[in-house]
Amino acid sequence: MATRRKYKKKPTSFITAVQLDLDTEGFSYNKWGGQQVCKRGDWLVDNNGDKYTVSGDSFAKTYEQVSPGVYTKSAPVWAEIADQPGKVKTKEGETAYEIGDYLVSNNPDGTDAYAIGAEKFLEMYEAAKD
């Protein structure tokens, strides 16, 4: 793997989201080559047409409300380019990735991880200056 670097979301990158704050057991769905699980308190996200869920604790730590239903990722991420295909365990399930995709984590130690295709990652993120 390449060296993990710090990135931040571009200022023009927003999502729409709603919290699943209902009396429910949640649900599961298939995405990113694996089964994902959404539970009460998690967030349903629309990221420029890409729909998925984010765990409630991860969302609270990394997103900031811009206006009702609109959020931006305010916390930095750490990412490296995958040099072989594989799967990464996420809080919601697992995500398959290919060579050249970005392995992204919300924490510098690589935890709270997920994977994003290179084109989409570079569209949404830029290297952090600090």
Specify the pLDDT at position 18. Answer: 97
For residues 20 and 26, the answer to whether their CB atoms sit within 8 Å is yes
Specify the pLDDT at position 2. Answer: 61
* Per-residue confidence in pLDDT tens, the chain, 130 aa: 568 999 999 988 899 999 999 999 999 999 999 999 999 999 999 998 999 999 999 999 999 999 999 999 999 999 999 999 999 999 999 999 999 999 999 999 999 999 999 999 999 999 998 7
Residue boundaries of the structural domains of the chain: 5-127
For residues 96 and 33, the answer to whether their CB atoms sit within 8 Å is yes
Specify the pLDDT at position 114. Answer: 94
**What phi-psi label fits residue 46: left (phi over 0), alpha (psi between -120 and 50 degrees) or beta?**
beta
Long-range contact set of residues 48-55: C-beta below 8 Å, sequence gap at least 24: 48/15, 50/120, 52/92, 53/20, 53/29, 53/92, 54/17, 54/92, 55/91, 55/92
C-alpha 101/C-alpha 83 separation (Å) is: 8
